[in-house]
Amino acid sequence: MSIWFRPYTLEELDGLSKDSMVEYLDIRFTEIGPDYIRATMPADKRTWQPYGLLHGGASVTLAETLGSTGANCVVDTTRYYCVGQEINANHLRAVRSGRVTATARPVHIGARSQVWEIRIEDDKGKLACISRLTLAVVEGAPPPVVGSTKP
């Protein structure tokens, strides 16, 4: 049984990233399962720290992107939207190249808050980072999508 409020497409999710950091970092949604969402991000000059390793901040950006997207996909976005309140990340393995794959699953979906776990793996399927994101569920119309407000 699916947790999503309505069916979503990968094209829809990628479209939300237009003209944002998500697009710049080349984060691409790759799969929507019944209770998870998945995306990839390169480990390259856009996401490296000065020593040629995947930057922890880039991993956190990927984690928050997936968790926030997932959280908003389980609510009626005509009445609610979800915003991050707290995120933590444990960086477990260095990644120098390739694409990392992140999978986000809810730990808790409540009326006023959600908690998501995001696991980021390297090209060999080894866990590079694990993150947990807490979000507030806010009543009201969400802010406009960034790409739609550009002058």
Q: What is the set of active-site residues?
A: 64
Question: What's the rounded Cα separation, in Å, for the pair 148 and 151?
Answer: 9
> Who's near 48: CB < 8 A, 6+ residues apart?
54, 55
Structural contact between residues 21 and 61, judged by C-beta atoms closer than 8 angstroms: yes
Count CB-CB contacts under 10 A for residue 141: 11
